Amino acid sequence: MLFYVLSNFTNAEIESLVEKLQAEQEKFMSVNKLYIAVSKTDCNIKSLSKTYQIVLKMLKLSQRRNISPMFYEKLEIKKLILAVDDNSLLESIYNENLRKLEIYDRDNGTDYLNFLRLYLKYDGSVQKVAEETFVHRNTINYQLAKIKKILGNNLKTFEERFKLILAFEIKDVL
């Protein structure tokens, strides 16, 4: 693992450097993939240790999601999750909201977890989920009813959906 600490570089210069690194990697390393994570660019020497920990988490996320480069500034809500030092807190949020569905999928050979993620991605649009999955709307509604029952969540309010979205984001980071 290599780490570069760059000082007094603009975001544009860093992005250019990342592009060059990836181009070189593609020329010489066709087997291994180069994963790049770029931390926030306004950190100082006092926050270097914390920034290092965040970059390590970003690299793990980058590998799991097969996304490279990954820029801290573009992570949106994941920034908040990466800043939390207490993984047990994050795990408890995930467990309270999605663990039941994960266990159900494992025990029954279903894929409701990914289906729910897609449903939330399309902001609860049954029509868009049906188009994406090539499944009839009635089947989508049946699966949603099953998910709601398993989770004990009717998915109607912003708060109910947000908890699930946050749990998915936590799952991605952890």
Highest-confidence range of 22-31, 47-56, 134-143, by mean pLDDT? Answer: 134-143
Q: Which is nearest to 117 in space by CA: 143, 80, 86?
A: 143
Domain-embedded: residue 1: no
Asked if residue 5 is part of any domain, the answer here is no
pLDDT band at 134 (very low <50, low <70, confident <90, very high): very high
Q: Per-residue confidence at 66, pLDDT binned at 50, 70, 90?
A: confident
Res. 106: pLDDT tops 90: yes
d(CA 118, CA 43): 35
pLDDT at 26: 72
**Full domain range(s) for residue 29:** 11-82
Same domain, 91 and 129: yes
Residue 107 lies in a domain: yes
Same domain, 92 and 112: yes
Query: How confident is the model at residue 129, as a pLDDT?
Result: 94
pTM metric for this prediction:
0.79
User: 93 pLDDT exceeds 70?
Assistant: yes
Q: In the chain, what percentage of residues exceed pLDDT 90?
A: 48
On the question of pLDDT at 119 being above 70, the answer is yes
Give CA separation, 7 vs 4, 10, 51, 68, 172, in Å.
Answer: 10, 9, 14, 22, 29
The band of 22, judged by pLDDT with boundaries at 50, 70 and 90, is confident
